[in-house]
Amino acid sequence: MSAGGGRRPIVAGNWKMNAGAPAEARALAREVRRLCERHRGAAVAVAPPFTAIVPVVETLEGAEVSVAGQDCHWEAKGAFTGAVAPKMLAAAGCRMVIVGHSERRRLFGDTDESVARKTRAAIEAGLVPIACVGETLPEREAGEAKAVTERQLRAALGGLGPAQLADVVLAYEPVWAIGTGRTATAAQAQEIHAHLRAVAAAVGGATFAAGLRILYGGSVTAANAGELAREADVDGCLVGGASLEAEGFSKIVAAVAETRR
Tell me if residue 101 is catalytic: yes
Contact 43, 9 (CB under 8 A): yes
Contact 67, 47 (CB under 8 A): yes
**Active-site hit among 101, 103, 150, 195:** 101
Tell me which of 119, 149, 152, 219 binds ligand PGA, using CB under 6 A. Answer: 219
Does 179 contact ligand PGA by CB under 6 A? yes
* Alpha-carbon gap, residue 94 to 92, rounded angstroms: 6
Tell me which of 128, 240, 249, 255 binds ligand PGA, using CB under 6 A. Answer: 240
Tell me which of 135, 150, 173, 233 binds ligand PGA, using CB under 6 A. Answer: 173
Encode 197-207: b = buried (16+ Cβ within 10 Å), e = exposed. bebbeebbeee
CB of residue 17 vs ligand PGA: minimum separation in angstroms?
12
CB of residue 14 vs ligand PGA: minimum separation in angstroms?
4
Does 97 contact ligand PGA by CB under 6 A? no
Q: Which CB atom, from 148 or from 204, has the smaller least distance to ligand PGA? A: 148
Does 239 contact ligand PGA by CB under 6 A? yes
- What is the total count of residues that contact ligand PGA (CB under 6 A)? 13
Pick the stretch among 26-34, 88-96, 144-152, 218-226 that binds ligand PGA (CB under 6 A). Answer: 218-226
What's the DSSP call for residue 62?
T
What's the DSSP call for residue 36?
H
Burial of 107 (0-12, 13-18, 19+ CB in 10 A): exposed
Does 114 contact ligand PGA by CB under 6 A? no
Q: Which CB atom, from 161 or from 179, has the smaller least distance to ligand PGA? A: 179
Does 241 contact ligand PGA by CB under 6 A? yes
- Chain positions 11 to 30 lying near ligand PGA, rule: CB under 6 A, are 14
Pick the stretch among 48-56, 60-68, 116-124, 233-241 that binds ligand PGA (CB under 6 A). Answer: 233-241
Interface residues toward ligand PGA, by CB under 6 A: 14, 173, 178-179, 217-220, 238-242
The catalytic residue positions are: 101, 173
